[in-house]
Structure 1
């Protein structure tokens, strides 16, 4: 199984409490996901993230094909980090770590995603041709949206 990694770091002009308040609410996933992916939360318990929380949603990541995705929050430490994994969905493995650290000027946010695709050799080809660029474009969108939400002058 070929494992891929994407890591991003972003500085936010906000407090750790405001940052955690936003990112620990599954409702805000839709805000930071590109509109063209038709992301819709199907079910979650309306609570802030906690270990064992299940979130189900649908999205259209490629070619307008609707996909169901189920994630679990495996670890969450308030104002510090949380980890989500895919239980069911398009990836063979999806493990996403979110870290938040206060700085003198705000918060340093680090995302680390490890993912693997099904179908062996064909999955590696699909990653090179399509998936890697798609995942990067989603994180680029997210970076820009978060920049707008936290770092733009109002």
Structure 2
């Protein structure tokens, strides 16, 4: 099963980075290029334990729906979301937050399994892992951008 691991150093308080990472509204901003919309479940604000969201987005020229649920939650250190329904056979995205030099080290572990057996494994190697890494890297860039400025106040209102 492929694993993507990303680390992002952010010059902001851990609570802010944690909340930005679970913000439905910030996720929409970070995925504008895929026309991603939250269409069911928690569709705005901060998602929490046992809450789910269904996203509709255009990937590889095709609109797809994906539902994920927060399955683990320890504010402000960690949360995980897992796919309930969608294009993957399964995935789990772990979000870890550690204090680091007055800021935050955000670490993502994204474990997934593609559908379609050997064809899915070939797709992983050819393009899917790179594509998912780029999506997560862009998301983290936006989290960092908002956290290190006053822009976080635009999306964290709760």
Q: 1:146 to 1:52 in 2, by over 3 A?
A: closer
Determine the structure 2 residue equivalent to 1:140: 137
Determine the structure 2 residue equivalent to 1:72: 69
Paired residues for 1:1-154 under 5 Å: 3-33=1-31, 35-45=32-42, 46=44, 48-62=46-60, 64-151=61-148
Q: Which runs of 5+ in 1 are unaligned?
A: none
User: How many pairs align?
Assistant: 150
TM-score after normalising by structure 1? 0.87
Give CA-to-partner distance per residue, 1:8-61, whole Å, 9 cap, x none: 01111111122223223222211222x221110112345633221111110112
Q: Partners in 2 of 1:140 and 1:47 — Cα distance?
A: 22
Q: Partners in 1 of 2:126 and 2:6 — Cα distance?
A: 21
SS state at 2:16 partner: helix
- Higher relative contact order (Cα pairs below 8 Å, separated by 6+ residues): 2
TM-score after normalising by structure 2? 0.85
Pick which of 64-73 and 99-108 moved more: 99-108
Q: Partners in 1 of 2:137 and 2:52 — Cα distance?
A: 26
Give CA-to-partner distance per residue, 1:50-79, whole Å, 9 cap, x none: 2211111101121x2000100010011111
Runs of 4+ in structure 1 deviating by more than 6 angstroms, as ranges, are: none
Please, what is the CA RMSD of the aligned residues? 2.0
Q: Indicate if the aligned counterparts of 2:25 and 2:45 stay in contact, CA closer than 8 A.
A: no
SS state at 1:87 partner: strand
Q: Which runs of 5+ in 2 are unaligned?
A: 152-158
